[in-house]
Amino acid sequence: MSTRSRRSGPSAGLFLTGILLILGACEDGGTPPDYTPEELDAAKAELRDHRRLRTFEAGKLFGDEWVARAPHDAELRALYAYQLVGWGLSKEVHEQADAILADDPENPWGLYTSAYAHYADNEAELAHELAREAWEASPQPEFVFLYLRALSRADFEAAREFLASLDDETRGWPEVLRMEAEIESQARYELEDPTWADSMRATWAEFKERFPDHVLGYTRLANEAYNDRRLDEWASLMEAALELAPGSVEVRAQHWRGLWMSDLLPREERRPAVEAGMAAYLEASPETVEGLQSMASMYRQMEDEERAAELDARIVAIDPDGFHASWVRRTKMRAVDEGMREIVDEHGRDSPEYRAQLEAIRDAVHDYLAGPLYDDSFKGEAYLNLFSALRSMDPIPGEELAEAIRGMVEYERLNPHIVFGDAPLAMIDHTPYPLEAVDIIRAGAPRVFESLEDARSFFDTEGEWDGALRGTLSGIYDVIGWAHFKAGRTEDGRHTLERALAISAYDRNVRYHLGQVYEQLAAEAEENGDGEAATSWLDQAEDSYIAGFGASRGENPNETALEALYERRNGSREGIEEYLATLDERDRVRRHERILESRVEDAETYEPFELARLDGEMVNSSGLEGKVAVLHFWGTWCGPCIVELPEYQEFDERYRHDPEVHVFSISNDETNEIIEDFLAKNDYDFTVLVDDGYAERAAVRAWPTTWFVDRDGYIQFVQVGTALKLDEEFSWRVEALREDAGNH
């Protein structure tokens, strides 16, 4: 006989099933969702619209609301995370990825979001691996876009191959067509072929035609039009983009910069036009820290620091612990650091103003590090600024300098040549921890060589690449040897420094440090009564200083050491000028020989050009036929360019009236006004041609770069970077070509 209750029958089972369904639909036992599936789908579509229109300000606010309502929908969180990427909020993107993967470690949307977080952290290798896993698990447009984007950064050729492998349907997605244009743009530089720029423009034009509701088609073509100074076309494209996305600060900021920096409007009309655009943006978009920061940046560009500071204060008040507040604090720190250049120009490095600015930089860095900080992203820059200031103080605070160096080692990633070059040397010279510098350089050596490998494409020949490798390895041995010497291990120091010299004989620091070691050995020999050995060591010290004398522009420690050694050996400075003059001539002969030997082995002609002077007159390269020509590429933004311009002015004056020689500088600054203001401020009057994209077409990849062209149009000498003594060394090349019979 059955004892089952009536209530345990089918109706009761359905009842229990209903209870379970209700519980399952109540988000872990909470209240039922306050949205329908249709509303959730509409929310996802709206987040995609914000992506399409680049309206990340409104997109983030909308996503905040919807993620709170549907926290377990992975796709929703991932689409929301993209809005955060648009704000630069990598930490929050990581949080969204963690939330998705906590529910399901294999969820493709979680893998995609995690990939984006790593991409935002500049970890392209990890990003493309995760994006590939997401794509293989579920072929979504967002996944293939990110995979291509990350892969193109990590392995450009692999990205091109993957793009070519996609079927026609997938290649028709807007996300893929966009990446096709991005990869074509990158190909200009990776493949050293400027014609890829035409392919890129054609692809963006196709994108705009096929997807007229995507704002990027307009803004990217507008950017190309602006670079080519087709300002009417730029204005038309920007108007279309603004009509499509009036609430996008990304689009607005591009428009503001164009209005301010171009010749589209008279100077007096530019600021009112920019501020009218800001007012229109505020009407179309909610107030966000992202928008406020973009406007503050624009006011700084318009040199209105007071208005920018007001907006900064508003940002900090809204979200004091957030990314943008940290950016405000960083901007203040950076402004103090950047103010040093003006102090040096106006007052010099021996002035009270200079010393006060060093203290101001020190205080600004400590204020920044005191936080609150969004993350550690800019700590490296802070410690770098602090290191630079402390190293220039007199006296140098050794313990604080050591802490700044340790901070750089932990956080600074962009300047390995300073962190593992200048900083260890400063640790040796100015702190009680010379052997700690050895630990720093040994731990950092892989990063130094990795950074050098990343720059390999800038070396034209294997010989140049070999020289760079030798110079880097020599520098590492130099630090180690100098540290051993300063720690009292003289013989260890000598052997290591001599190894550095054997690797690269042209390093002035190695020469100086070896000279110091030899002088110490001479002193020890004198103490032991061995005068012959002491003389031999002093001779070696003198030879070392002479070899390093004149090795580079600026202060050279070998010169100072050589003068001191001369006085030590002769009992006075009498006759030192004649002695040094002899060395100057010896160095001049060596440099002249090296320059003539640097002639290009297989000289080629250059890309023809027709460029405008600042006064609008056109200069055609055909007019250089039969002449020796010097083409100097530079920009006011380029620090090394600025350093050598006084000598370049002298060189230009030397040949200005020579009918056989034409000297032109080609500036790629954004507007003529920037160039004109700079020339006027510095009393320069050399001829400037305005780059219209020619440097890119001609594959100029470093500034300054100077070509020395013979009468037949062949580039016979190339100077990349600054010259030691520009006027003299440039003239040697010109005179060699003047006397040349035209063989190439």
Q: Provide the Cα torsion 543, 546, 547, 549; round to 10°.
A: 160
Question: Torsion-angle region of residue 155: left (phi > 0), alpha (psi -120 to 50) or beta?
Answer: beta
The string of pLDDT tens digits covering residues 666-717 is: 998 888 999 998 899 899 999 999 999 999 999 898 888 999 999 999 999 9
> How far, in Å, CA of 604 to CA of 624, rounded?
15
Answer whether 96's CB lies under 8 Å from 112's CB. no
- pTM of this prediction? 0.65
In sequence order, the 6+-apart residues with CB closer than 8 A to the CB of 81 are 92, 93, 96, 97, 113, 116, 117
Q: Is 549 helix (H, G, I), strand (E, B) or coil?
A: coil
Average pLDDT over residues 435-464: 83
Tokens of 357: 């600015």
Q: Is 718 helix (H, G, I), strand (E, B) or coil?
A: strand
Q: Tell me which residue of 468, 463, 544 sits closest to 511, measured CA to CA.
A: 544
In sequence order, the 6+-apart residues with CB closer than 8 A to the CB of 94 are 114, 117
Answer whether 479's CB lies under 8 Å from 441's CB. yes
Helices (H), 25-140: 37-53, 56-69, 74-87, 90-103, 108-120, 124-137
The string of pLDDT tens digits covering residues 49-99 is: 999 999 999 999 999 999 999 999 999 999 999 999 988 888 999 999 999
- How many Cβ atoms from other residues are within 10 Å of residue 524's Cβ? 14
Residue 279 has pLDDT above 90, yes or no: yes
Q: What is the reported pLDDT for 612?
A: 94
> How far, in Å, CA of 562 to CA of 584, rounded?
13
Q: Are strands 610-613 and 618-620 parallel, antiparallel or unpaired?
A: antiparallel
> How far, in Å, CA of 217 to CA of 210, rounded?
9
> How far, in Å, CA of 365 to CA of 384, rounded?
9
Alpha carbon 78 to its chain's center: 29
Instruction: Count Cβ atoms within 10 A of the Cβ of residue 65 and give its class: 0-12 exposed, 13-18 middle, 19 or more buried.
Output: exposed
Q: Provide the Cα torsion 613, 618, 619, 620; round to 10°.
A: 150
Answer whether 358's CB lies under 8 Å from 392's CB. yes
* Sign of the dihedral through C-alpha 240, 243, 244, 245: positive
Q: What is the reported pLDDT for 14?
A: 33
Q: Tell me which residue of 374, 397, 316, 380 sits closest to 91, measured CA to CA.
A: 374
In sequence order, the 6+-apart residues with CB closer than 8 A to the CB of 47 are 59, 62, 63, 66, 76, 79, 80, 82, 83
> DSSP of 336-358, one letter per residue?
HHHHHHHHHHHH-TTSHHHHHHH
Residue 523 has pLDDT above 90, yes or no: yes
Confidence band for 32, pLDDT divided at 50, 70 and 90: confident
> How far, in Å, CA of 710 to CA of 714, rounded?
5
Q: What is the reported pLDDT for 2?
A: 30
Answer whether 80's CB lies under 8 Å from 44's CB. no
> How far, in Å, CA of 21 to CA of 394, rounded?
75
Q: What is the reported pLDDT for 27?
A: 46
Q: What is the reported pLDDT for 744?
A: 45
Q: What is the reported pLDDT for 19?
A: 32
> How far, in Å, CA of 137 to CA of 109, rounded?
10
> How far, in Å, CA of 349 to CA of 420, rounded?
26
- How many Cβ atoms from other residues are within 10 Å of residue 469's Cβ? 17
> How far, in Å, CA of 419 to CA of 412, rounded?
7
Whether cis (ω within 30° of 0) applies to the bond prior to 266 is: no
> How far, in Å, CA of 193 to CA of 9, rounded?
78
Answer whether 292's CB lies under 8 Å from 314's CB. yes
Answer whether 522's CB lies under 8 Å from 551's CB. no
Average pLDDT over residues 637-652: 87
Q: What is the reported pLDDT for 624?
A: 93
The string of pLDDT tens digits covering residues 715-741 is: 999 998 877 689 999 999 999 999 885
Q: What is the reported pLDDT for 547?
A: 77
Residue 16 has pLDDT above 50, yes or no: no
Mean pLDDT of the chain: 90
Average pLDDT over residues 104-114: 96
Alpha carbon 529 to its chain's center: 56
Q: What is the reported pLDDT for 20?
A: 31
Average pLDDT over residues 405-432: 94
First to last CA, the chain: 112
Q: What is the reported pLDDT for 30?
A: 57
The string of pLDDT tens digits covering residues 223-276 is: 999 989 999 999 999 999 999 999 999 999 999 999 999 889 999 999 999 999
Answer whether 440's CB lies under 8 Å from 473's CB. no
Average pLDDT over residues 327-340: 92
Long-range pairs for 610-618: beta carbons < 8 A, 24 or more residues apart:
611/666, 611/689, 611/690, 611/691, 611/692, 611/694, 612/689, 612/690, 612/692, 613/687, 613/688, 613/689, 613/690, 614/672, 614/675, 614/676, 614/688, 614/690
